[in-house]
Structure 1
Amino acid sequence: MIESSRAQRLAAIASISDPSRRALFEWVVRNPAPVGRDEVAEATGMARTTVAFHLDRLVEAGLLTSRFQRRNGRTGPGAGRPAKLYTPTADEVVVAIPERHYDVVGELLAAAIEESDRSGAPARTTLAAVARETGHRMGAASASLLPALENAGYEPRAAGNGRIVLENCPFHRLAANHTALICHANLCLLQGMLDGTAEGVFEVEFDPGEGHCCVTVTMNG
């Protein structure tokens, strides 16, 4: 569910910090159809080479997509060279500081409601199961627990005596307003993540406190 790293998303946002590049990006976004370099240059008054450079940097950053296509619809010999056309990417680029992942909670809740409707099981029961399954997939996709936690938006910090505190809650606002529901789902998510990594050296436990996530990680022994 978390497809891009924080560094990639920050780089994408940084790519439009340049006023000229941001103006080009906004112009492309406002157009319902794919646009070419010539029409962007004419509309913005920038040199075509400058437009081409900035548009391709926006493609590299993942904010635009590009393809080659003949504008006149003709094909075959004599149809002319295809133009490079640009459109906004369909993917969202969201950066939160501190790191938050409300999209993960939304996916968990939606999947739990659908499963509850299908099976007739209580929604809270299905939420716990869905959270564990999701966490298991996230853990299995990572080499070990700590990288999996970081990829999911947690900030693990050694607190002594084999205890690791998660300083950031990726679901902070929802957890503050719906503490019991979200914190239990969070615990199940992290239990599933640990199971997915198959690391027997850690345990996760519910340990709410001020200034950190409601779940802590401890090393066995």
Structure 2
Amino acid sequence: MSRMDDSARQDDLAAVASIADPQRRALFEFVARHPEPVGRDEAASALGMARGTAAFHLDRLVEAGLLRTEFQRRNGRTGPGAGRPAKLYRAMPGEISVSVPERHYDLAAELLSRAVEESDRARTPIGPTLERVSARLGRALGGAADSMPAVLERLGYAPVDDGDDGMLLTNCPFDRVARNHTATICAANAALLDGAVRGLGERDVAAVLEPRDGYCCVRLRSTRQGASTSHRTTEA
């Protein structure tokens, strides 16, 4: 995993951990439900807590990246004598998601959505289209990476050395979907990693569909060892 990806994941973990406190979580949910920014007095009154307590937790939520602040004069006055603007809180846009082990169901949804759109547009079967879409994205990921382990770590595959110059993947980022739709998701998974291998220009590695208990269905096999190179070839 790159330093940037690892840092982002640590930030997400810290943000999720920050709402473990019941009062803090209640404040976050109160602010998030309001389309307009919320003040400390308003939040404290609504939740029946001391203003100082509410202020403390609201500021911790800002530090965690879940809320942002802005300043407004809520009395409508302007100019000298209008008083200090109030500190208000608003939920940050977007979402934070953390899974352990690491999952990327958003990526599975993106691949499936692209495949459906392309299949409808070109009037092609959805299965082969999904594999083409997956291979295309894999090549883009590989082309932007320094190494295959970097791609695998970024996507949460948790690779380990297989003892034969290849890699076993100890985690499946699409686990739940793959359990329910094994043939479809595993084929897309193999195409994605095959595309990444091609995008990196790797000539001594093959992504092969090789299911085994406790591991992802795909294995990265070294072709220098005379291992079988029978794997899905998916062209865009």
Q: Structure 1 length as normaliser, TM-score?
A: 0.85
- Is 1:41 the counterpart of 2:44 in the alignment? yes
Contact 2:102 2:173 in 1 (8 A): yes
Identity %: 55
Distance 1:190 1:76, change over 3 A: farther
Which residue in the other structure is 1:216 paired with? 219
Q: Distance in 2 between matches of 1:196 and 1:77?
A: 62
Deviations 1:24-76 (A, max 9, x none): 21222333422022322333454544433322332332322333334356666
CA positional deviation for 1:112: 0.7
Residues matched between the structures, number: 220
Distance 1:212 1:51, change over 3 A: same
What one-letter code is carried by the residue in structure 2 that aligns with 1:139?
G
Q: Distance in 1 between matches of 2:144 and 2:73?
A: 41
Which residue in the other structure is 1:10 paired with? 13
Which residue in the other structure is 2:62 paired with? 59
CA positional deviation for 1:187: 0.7
Tell me how large the CA RMSD over aligned residues is: 2.6
Q: Structure 2 length as normaliser, TM-score?
A: 0.80
* Gapped regions of structure 2 (runs ≥ 5): 225-236
Residue among 151, 161, 172 paired with 1:169: 172
- Is 1:189 the counterpart of 2:198 in the alignment? no
Q: Is the deviation greater in 176-185 or in 198-207?
A: 198-207
What one-letter code is carried by the residue in structure 2 that aligns with 1:182?
I
What one-letter code is carried by the residue in structure 2 that aligns with 1:108?
L
What one-letter code is carried by the residue in structure 2 that aligns with 1:53?
F
Q: Is the deviation greater in 205-214 or in 93-102?
A: 93-102
Q: Which has the larger radius of gyration?
A: 2
Q: Secondary structure of 2:207's partner?
A: strand
Which residue in the other structure is 1:137 paired with? 140
- Is 1:93 the counterpart of 2:99 in the alignment? no
Contact 2:69 2:87 in 1 (8 A): yes
* Gapped regions of structure 1 (runs ≥ 5): none
Q: Secondary structure of 1:29's partner?
A: helix
Deviations 1:172-206 (A, max 9, x none): 12212211111110011112222333444532111
Contact 1:5 1:151 in 2 (8 A): no
